[in-house]
Amino acid sequence: MNNISHFTIRTSDRRTFRRCLRKWDFQSSLRGNWQHIGTEQNINFWFGSAIHFSMEDYHGENKFGDPRKAFWAYYQAFPADELPMGAEAHYELGMAMLSYYLTWYKRHNDVTGFETALVDPETHQLFDPHKVKKTDNLEYAVEQSFILPLKAWVAVDNNGHIHDAYFSEEDIPDNDKLFNMSIVPIYYHGTMDRIVCDKYGRYWILDYKTAKGADTNKLDTDDQISAYLWAFEKWFGIQPYGFIYLQLTKEAVQEPKRLKNGELSVDKKQKTTYSLLKQEIINDYGTVNAAPDKLIQFLNHMASIESPEGDRFIRWDFVKRTPEQIVSTEEHIMGELHHMLWDDLYCYPTPTRDCIWDCPCRDLCLALDRKDEAAINEFMQNFEQRPRDEDGNLDPWRENIPWPEKLAAEGKTVPELDEILALDECMKIELESRASQDDTDGFKFMYGDEEE
């Protein structure tokens, strides 16, 4: 008899389903359910997970006291021979990005007053951290997993294969007509990076993204934003106010460049920010107005390419959905699930130029078309089936994190910051931009108390 208690789908499954049926057939928990054995070897996923862990600790229990120390701990959790290619360079990049994040966040968050919400893990009730103190019974609302029952059940045989699907409880056949199959419910699963409460006591979902460049065109149609806003109300029992999409660009911020004669450069290609440049101008000339015209023009240029939501390195966007859009979201989820459970669904490949980087089963895909049994078998040696009853992401590396208390028990401590920072510039940026923390670069929290 199979021991499957439930199936789960996630937004990523839905995206894969729409991207390529063959890839979905390989990965989905409803189908092959295969995952790569061992440490994540895709450097982008590995790095994204590092940034998420650093934020989870910093905005949660804050055991490390600094997200860069948490990042260091994440790196230590992997044996050197299991680190993905490029991990070392990404360590330096991560340290630089987090150093800038600390100054950016302080400056922008002063206006919104976001604090990590508190949650009762038993009841999922949320509490405003501006009013309620953290106790042992409450958790910081970071990495909040939800698992919501969908109106869908499947009949599963002893080998775990799905046969029939039912979208209403009345349609589920009686036991004597199931012929040794069991009925398994389907759930929607996801993890919210952080839930914050603003200075007006309203709850927002905050999600971190690391990418080559910030993308804001997709926010109105982004299905993860819609699904999470839909799920929030069902899981926590209250309406969220909105979604904060915080994008960290994978680039190290640099101090404003200087020419050989020591003057500030007006090179538009330099990777710096308005506030860092302004601070350097004030350091050099006392006030912005006392600076040469070309520098003032360059400063204006830097202001023009930044927006109240952020700069080219970090920005956050505030996104809302109407109640009608939330209803539509549920309709879309159920519609896709209907398609996923078609019993004669033929999972054909959808080759695109992205296959080379976005598909972990590309070699299998090629071998399948060649009908090359030997290559198929060789490929499958590196894959294993995910535990069928998992409720969330399994992160084996978490067991190897050198938490401060774990180190203390061994008579060790977390190294000091200057030991773990790979780049001297990280510290400089943080210290020198601290002087401009009062300067919010014109950022205004657009969602005032009076709205609605």
Interface with ligand SF4 (CB under 6 A), residue from 113, 308, 351, 404? 351
Scored b (16 or more CB within 10 A) or e, 360-372 reads bbbebbbbbeeee
Of 129 and 349, which has the nearer Cβ to ligand SF4?
349
Q: Which residue do the tokens 């308005």 mark?
A: 274
- In this structure, the chain runs to a length of 452
Is-contact 350 18, C-beta < 8 A?
no
Nearer to ligand SF4, 20 or 333 (CB): 20
Interface pick for ligand SF4 out of 8, 11, 20, 74 (rule CB under 6 A): 20
**Least gap, CB of 71 to ligand SF4 (angstroms):** 31
Residue 350 as a binder of ligand SF4 (CB under 6 A): the answer is yes
Give the nearer residue to ligand SF4 in terms of CB position, either 16 or 433. Answer: 16
CB nearer to ligand SF4: give 240 or 349. 349
Does residue 375 bind ligand SF4 (CB under 6 A)?
no
Q: To which H or E segment does residue 48 belong?
A: helix 43-58
Cβ closest to ligand SF4, residue 22 vs residue 202: 22
- Provide the pairing of β-strand 242-249 with 203-211: parallel
Parallel, antiparallel, or unpaired for β 203-211 and 34-36? unpaired
Identity of the residue, 113 or 360, whose beta carbon is nearer to ligand SF4 in the bound complex: 360
Q: Which is nearer to ligand SF4, 225 or 361 (CB)?
A: 361
Residue 195 C-beta: closest distance to ligand SF4, Å: 33
- The CA-atom distances, in angstroms, between 143 and each of 7, 91, 112, 205, 249 are 21, 22, 21, 11, 21
Long-range contacts: 178-184, Cβ < 8 Å, 24+?
181/155, 181/156, 181/157, 182/1, 182/2, 182/4, 182/155, 182/156, 183/153, 183/154, 183/155, 183/156, 184/4, 184/5, 184/6, 184/7, 184/153, 184/154, 184/155, 184/156
Residue 16 CB, shortest distance to ligand SF4, in Å, is: 9
Sole residue written with tokens 């060790």: 412
E strand or H helix that includes residue 139: strand 139-140
Nearest-angstrom CA–CA distance, 23 and 350: 9
150 binds ligand SF4 (CB under 6 A): no
Chosen residue from 361, 414, 421, 426 binding ligand SF4 by CB under 6 A: 361
**Contacting ligand SF4 (CB under 6 A), which of 67, 94, 256, 349?**
349
Is residue 126 a contact point for ligand SF4 (CB under 6 A)? no
| Binding-site member from 10, 23, 108, 202 for ligand SF4 (CB under 6 A) | 23
What is the smallest separation between the CB atom of 252 and ligand SF4, expressed in angstroms? 32
Q: Based on CB atoms, which residue is closest to ligand SF4, 40 or 317? A: 40
Binding residue count for ligand SF4, defined by CB under 6 A: 11
In the bound state with ligand SF4, the residue whose beta carbon lies nearer, of 113 and 351, is 351
Quick one: which of 10, 14, 22, 90 contacts ligand SF4 (CB under 6 A)? 22
Give the binding range for ligand SF4 (CB under 6 A) out of 97-105, 184-192, 348-356, 405-413: 348-356
Residue 305 burial by CB count (10 A; 0-12/13-18/19+): exposed, middle or buried?
exposed
Q: Considering beta carbons, is residue 16 or 273 the nearer one to ligand SF4?
A: 16
Is 355 near ligand SF4 (CB under 6 A)? yes
CA–CA dist 152, 342 (Å, integer): 13
Output 49 or 350, the one with its CB closest to ligand SF4: 350
Q: Does the protein bind ligand SF4 through residue 365 (CB under 6 A)?
A: yes
Phi and psi torsions of 27, nearest 5°: -95, -35
Task: Name 194's bridge partners.
Answer: 206
Q: Which stretch binds ligand SF4 (CB under 6 A): 17-25, 84-92, 106-114, 391-399?
A: 17-25
**Separation between Cα atoms, residue 68 and residue 55, nearest integer Å:** 9
> Nearest approach, Cβ of 369 to ligand SF4 (angstroms)?
8
For residue 246, with 0-12 CB atoms within 10 Å meaning exposed, 13-18 middle and 19 or more buried, which class applies? buried
Query: In this chain, which stretch among 15-23, 28-36, 244-252, 396-404 interacts with ligand SF4, using CB under 6 A?
Result: 15-23
Residue 187: DSSP 8-state: E
Position of tokens 């030997």?
Answer: 374
The verdict on 359 binding ligand SF4 (CB under 6 A) reads yes
Residues that bind ligand SF4 (CB under 6 A): 20, 22-23, 349-351, 355, 359, 361-362, 365
